[in-house]
Structure 1
Amino acid sequence: MKAKWPLSQLRLRALASPLPSVLAWKVPLSSSLLANSCFYKWISLMLFFKQIYDVDLLVDLCVVKLIQNNVDEAVEKLKAQGIEVLGVVCHVSNEQQRKNLIDETVQKYGKIDVVVSNAAANPSFDDILQTQESVLDKLWEINVKSSILILQDASPHLQKGSSVVIISSFTAYQPPATIAMYGVTKTALLGLTKALAAEMAPNTRVNCVAPGFVPTRSAALLRTNDAFMKEIEQGTLLNRLGTTQDMAAATAFLASDDASYITGEILVVAGGLPSRL
């Protein structure tokens, strides 16, 4: 690991660089319910653009996962990158675990600068009118309600100039038949972004990333169906699927001071797939 630079020296170096500014000395909190997702890793790494600067950034991070083994794995990988990190097990629908998440983060770092709300679930592929009430409740609770509740808990600790990034989906604009109800909950996040941006201004910016198809381990349909993957690729203008790095870069941009005059916006990262209401 390279020697860490004093605060004043790193500030001068960042200001002198033509490359994007970074989130040094900010405390981001990223929630992810998807136990097998590697999205957290790329958000965390890209948030600090460690590959851009030849110095180690003094950053703090809280990563939230659902299973202790996944927390430990995430913490180990991030610490190997020289990132100071706190790992917390939290099911976002559990009130006490949400409270513990915020309390542990604030106790360790004293503040929260960035919240990335990435928790999501898709427990059913049924048509909307055939979806059981319990499934409807879970979709709403995890995909929409959890974002609100996390911010209710975190908002007293958000600093002036803080940022919230909500992760929606391009399916919010045209919910596919097989995951229509999932898409509907993601549509709700677009409205939530607009409403929260107005409510939390001027101290906190609120924006949204709407990813396209990304073949993560949780997207089993994409990973096991070559014909479907090819069809999706051909439907994009860039003729490829998205990557977790693509989504993390967009998230990092909206969370950073480079986006300091952007709030209430939805950034679609879908390779040119048609995606507007």
Structure 2
Amino acid sequence: MTEQLPSSSPSPDPRSEHPQVDAPPQDQEAPGTTAETTPQPDHGEQTYEGHGRLRGKAALITGGDSGIGRAVGIAFAREGADVAFTFQPMEKDDADATVREIEAAGRTAVAIEGDLRDEDFSASLPQQVREKLGRLDVIVLNAAYQQARDGVDTVSTEEFDRVLRTNLYSQFWILRSALPHLESGASIIITSSIQSVQPSAGLFDYAMTKAAQVALVKALAPQLGQQGIRINAVAPGPVWTPLIPSTGWPEHVPEFGQDTPLGRAAQPAELAPAYVLLASDEGSYISGAVVPVTGGKPF
């Protein structure tokens, strides 16, 4: 007699599983806050279900107060990890909200205030996490800064330096100081972007840093692999976070993400599973990879 398997509900349509952003024109001062972002992004607060994939691990996430960083922090905590994350002073309300979500999952949250452009601060983070959480197993280098540009000739050295120090220098400083604290089995994940392979002229400096991050992952994977440490990148397409209304293109916000094959921008919650896979033992043979989460945009 053939065993009858329980029937399953049909898979949701990815075009409509999450709502169209349908955002009005809006502008914020960088780095932007969740409270001022309309509509509010979905970080998985009501939907992400953990399954113990990161039980016993400790993670550091840069820029974990909002957007992709908050979604990853929530997912990691619900998967069993303690989470430390960085934020800037103007992001305190967002940071407090992230702490509440992590603690509601029964895990320890450590919010570290500071500016990643400062070498001493960035370099101190791995040691701080080891002291406060007792170990360091996963590093997510996620914080980023972007601004819309009218042309190369309009960008000051100070502004160019801000992009590179936030998106590249800080990652180098953190990685350099983290290696003595990482043991075999550790995972490093960098948030790159589709901009690394499809650069926009209006984001040329941001795109430069995202392409460099891909090169960094591919260059370090052979070296770190000899120590049993994996390094990968996630390359998001358009994702609805406070970074978007703080980029300086309010007229483009209403149409953001509608040029993807799925016809909409992603919610941060949709990125979190990729980070969980790369951080978990289930991703034990994935290193040197760039995982595109782009809504169908070719990578």
Distance in 2 between the 1:223 and 1:212 partners? Answer: 19
Report if the CA contact (8 A) 1:71-1:88 is conserved: no
Greater CA deviation, 207-216 or 118-127? 118-127
Select which of 171, 174, 180 maps to 2:195: 171
Select which of 206, 211, 214 maps to 2:236: 211
Instruction: Give the root-mean-square deviation of aligned CA atoms.
Output: 2.3
Select which of 67, 76, 79 maps to 1:38: 67
* Residue correspondences, number: 245
Distance in 2 between the 1:265 and 1:188 partners? Answer: 14
Unaligned segments of structure 2, at least 5 residues? 1-49
Select which of 73, 76, 81 maps to 2:97: 73
Residue identity over aligned pairs, in percent, reads 29
Distance in 2 between the 1:197 and 1:141 partners? Answer: 23
Question: Match of 2:56?
Answer: 25
TM-score normalized with structure 1 length = 0.80
Residue identity matched to 1:149: W
Question: Match of 2:280?
Answer: 256
Report if the CA contact (8 A) 1:124-1:131 is conserved: no
Question: Match of 2:35?
Answer: none
Greater CA deviation, 186-195 or 196-205? 196-205
Residue identity matched to 2:83: L
Distance in 1 between the 2:105 and 2:134 partners? Answer: 23
TM-score normalized with structure 2 length = 0.75
Distance in 2 between the 1:77 and 1:224 partners? Answer: 33
Unaligned segments of structure 1, at least 5 residues? 1-18, 51-56
Greater CA deviation, 197-206 or 41-50? 41-50
Q: Deviations over 1:81-116 (max 9, x none)?
A: 222111111211212322443332111223210000
Question: Match of 2:255?
Answer: 228
The structure whose residues are more often strand, as a share, is: 1
Residue identity matched to 1:216: T
Question: SS at 1:237's partner residue?
Answer: coil
Select which of 92, 111, 128 maps to 2:135: 111
The structure whose residues are more often helix, as a share, is: 1
Select which of 105, 110, 114 maps to 1:86: 110
Q: State the structure with bigger RCO (CA 8 A, min sep 6), 1 or 2.
A: 2
